[in-house]
Structure 1
């Protein structure tokens, strides 16, 4: 090969090398460019994910997105949490009072409580909207109650072991509820409920209508006074043994319980004998409780009597001294009928100013003696304050109106002017009840009464409705109110929005 050809060939090889290097460089540049591009995209995606996580964990989601819309009223997730958790704990407290530590097992499920929450919000939206449209304004008593509620938040938080109200609200209501949202919902709900009372009270009925309604429902309203004792067949089966040291079967146990109940019944001659027999026949675990003569005594409206034996007690013609044994699944009730009360008496209207003693926390004192001394001091201080206010009123106009004004300014109880209307027998604590139902009591009577709540400055207004009419009036008004709600709440049928998924 000639030199020129070799030279040309080497040149071509060099050119090809250059082209390959250029190609590799371009490929490398493209790779770097793509890496940068996707790195930026990955960074953006990561940042977006972090932002979303932060957003969903923040209160912005809970407070700024509509979870439920009822009519024109919009409720955020935080608002829903306010209603849901208030209702949840209302249920819980009710079930706990009946079932104690088993309350959680008896509670309605989450879906049921959510549904009830929505219904409550619909009714609240209806009442709140109507109140605003009609110009109804919150009463002074309502405003006072709201402020009292807000003031107690700090004490409640401290008592529950939280460092701040913010932490307490977060724990109690879950997401989004702060003091502002708590107050706003409390104000709207209080306004709605007050307006609801005006709707309720707008329905009026004649005495004849009320008397007829009571007569149609007397088994529900009449108070039945009776004594009872339960012979537990199941307990006999669990605790007694035969001579062969074998457990007594259920059938035998119930037969023995029946024999015991029949013996008890045959020996009853009057109320006193019933009490003595209850003590005699009680098992050792409960015997001491029957040393109290009232342990077997019950006074209850017919609607509240155990259905196992209410039919017998409510039968027409039942006379004082009638007695019987009623069988149930796990034993026998021995019953003694005393009387039936048709609630034919006048209730009373009364005003009061409650002065509570300052709360004394036992943990703040070194020993029991110091603690009791502090309690006594707090009581004496409350008593002195009550006496001072009472003197102030007597040395002033000394009228019912001035008493009501003083109650609004100083009472630790909520009613406007300290007024309780249509108070039934036994509705108030014993000392309060005894004062207002004293046979010598006259309109305008005043005084100071001590109860476990504190000191009550009393003003007797006079008689209220006949209690039988009051019971009928209450139920007829409730029926009319429920009908009104049913007719109007359709326009406030709740629309559930996607943010509701993030509630509680």
Structure 2
């Protein structure tokens, strides 16, 4: 066929009328094409889904590997994995709640879901706990470096075993690792926690060694006392309170009604209050002469325990026996009449003891006396008492040890037992309080008086705080992955503060100030021109 002929026939083929069969075949071919396309898309989607599931499944061991072996943050050049960070976070959180749960409940905060609540204007409690965790990790790493430099060694095996035994008991019927995850985060296991736990035991032992060496001397304690006597002395005084007799109804005897017509308590006018106070003052002035003989006795009162209106007067170094005073308490519409007896330092020694404290359990036959009998029926030694502390004590003191217990800090019965001059080391006593609480005490001996214990604890705390700050100050923190949100908040706050400072500096040289000065110049020039 020639080229011209093909060109002539082509239009005829294109213009041919489609038959019913042609349309049917075309529809069939189009449907087949769509099904092939759908099948291809399904295959692609299936591959993607399979790959996604596979990636998710594979991510579990990867995430576990990174949590155990990867650096969540770096402290002092040492990698801190997610397990160790979560452990310190949990410890910081637990300690905070143990110390502040009462105050949180008073503020209406839910301690069980506290992490996402606001700690401050910018930080959540999670951010704050992260700060505490990082501070603790810094201290731990710094103490570990100090211990190594000092050649300090400590066998952590016994304390580690005891801690794990306590955790196993806490787990109850739950597997230990599941229990550890509930306490210390989703990646926690016994094996993974061993390193940070042992490290904590070691550094705590070294800290205690440093603390023992840093204890203040008698000279330092006495010197501090001389500078802060008012905080450790106590006073004896007598006091009489004279209440102002305020009117309880209007002068004409008519009832006092609120806006809704309900009868309410009468509120005296300022004139009526002033008149009542004047009368009370006359009575108070009369009582001043007899307050030392007839006033209520207040003995061994610390400055913080006295009424703030009287504390400065009572603890004035110039105060002498027999001094009296009348002070107006305008807030409560009354007068305080006080007579001074003496100021002194309580030298009563405190005591050291071991104690088992338990609460009554429903259906339990265990009480203070039964625990004491169990001790007596055994070796009846201090060591066997320690074992019973571990078995029964619910207060959490290590081996039930309490040092420096004041002999006026317990119930009257226990106070009398502790303060008995005949008390000897090894004496025991069983006490059950009216509300059912049980106390079994093991007497160890006398300790320093409260004032000296308080000053020693304060000076030691200051010394150890300074020590920790000094050794941890140079410990670096790196967070290249941006895991610590509080660092972002701090950076944003610093940036904002810098911006405000720069804005303040620029404001001193604004176009407005320039226009003001140029305006003055132009005004002067204009006046010269006019002249």
Which of the five TM-score ranges fits, normalised by the shorter chain?
A: 0.5 to 0.7
> For the residues of structure 2 that align with 1:147 and 1:405, how far apart are their CA atoms?
19
> For the residues of structure 1 that align with 2:59 and 2:484, how far apart are their CA atoms?
16
Partner residue of 1:345? Answer: 348
Given candidates 445, 465, 472, the residue that maps to 2:455 is: 472
TM-score normalized with structure 2 length: 0.60
Q: Kindly provide the CA deviation profile for residues 289-328 of structure 1, in whole angstroms up to 9, marking residues without a partner as x.
A: xxxxxxx968654357675653233222335674543547
> For the residues of structure 2 that align with 1:261 and 1:150, how far apart are their CA atoms?
67
1:347/1:467 contact within 8 Å kept: yes
Partner residue of 2:404? Answer: 422
Q: CA deviation at 1:218?
A: 1.3
> For the residues of structure 2 that align with 1:242 and 1:62, how far apart are their CA atoms?
82
Q: CA deviation at 1:8?
A: 5.9
Partner residue of 1:446? Answer: 427
2:352/2:444 contact within 8 Å kept: yes
Residue 37 to residue 101, structure 1, CA distance change in 2 (3 Å): closer
1:128/1:191 contact within 8 Å kept: no
- Unaligned runs of at least 5 residues, structure 1: 158-163, 276-295, 362-373, 395-402
After the TM superposition, which residues 198-213 of structure 1 pair with which residues of structure 2 at under 5 Å, given as runs?
198-213=209-224
1:82/1:177 contact within 8 Å kept: no
- Greater RCO, 1 or 2 (C-alpha within 8 Å, sep 6+): 1
2:352/2:443 contact within 8 Å kept: no
> For the residues of structure 2 that align with 1:46 and 1:260, how far apart are their CA atoms?
93
Residue 16 to residue 257, structure 1, CA distance change in 2 (3 Å): farther
After the TM superposition, which residues 79-478 of structure 1 pair with which residues of structure 2 at under 5 Å, given as runs?
79=87, 81-90=89-98, 92-96=100-104, 99=106, 101=108, 108-109=119-120, 111=123, 113=125, 114-115=127-128, 117-119=130-132, 121-127=134-140, 130-131=143-144, 133=148, 134-138=152-156, 144=162, 147-148=165-166, 151-152=169-170, 176=186, 180=190, 192-224=203-235, 243=252, 245=256, 248=267, 251=270, 255=274, 258=277, 262=281, 265-266=284-285, 267=287, 269-270=290-291, 274=295, 301-302=302-303, 309-319=310-320, 322-325=324-327, 327=329, 334=336, 336=338, 339-350=342-353, 352=354, 354=356, 356=358, 359-361=360-362, 374=363, 377-379=365-367, 383-393=369-379, 403-411=381-389, 412-413=392-393, 418-442=400-424, 444=425, 446-452=427-433, 453-461=437-445, 463-478=446-461
> For the residues of structure 2 that align with 1:274 and 1:50, how far apart are their CA atoms?
85
Q: CA deviation at 1:225?
A: 5.3
Q: Does 1:10 align with 2:9?
A: yes
2:240/2:291 contact within 8 Å kept: no
2:240/2:337 contact within 8 Å kept: yes
Q: CA deviation at 1:203?
A: 1.0
Q: CA deviation at 1:217?
A: 1.3
Q: Kindly provide the CA deviation profile for residues 405-441 of structure 1, in whole angstroms up to 9, marking residues without a partner as x.
A: 2133222446666544333333445443322211223
- Structure of larger gyration radius: 2
> For the residues of structure 1 that align with 2:107 and 2:239, how far apart are their CA atoms?
24
Whose helix proportion is higher, 1 or 2? 1
TM-score normalized with structure 1 length: 0.63
Q: Kindly provide the CA deviation profile for residues 318-367 of structure 1, in whole angstroms up to 9, marking residues without a partner as x.
A: 356745435476766737456534133333333x363747x523xxxxxx
- RMSD across aligned positions (CA): 5.7
Q: CA deviation at 1:183?
A: 8.6
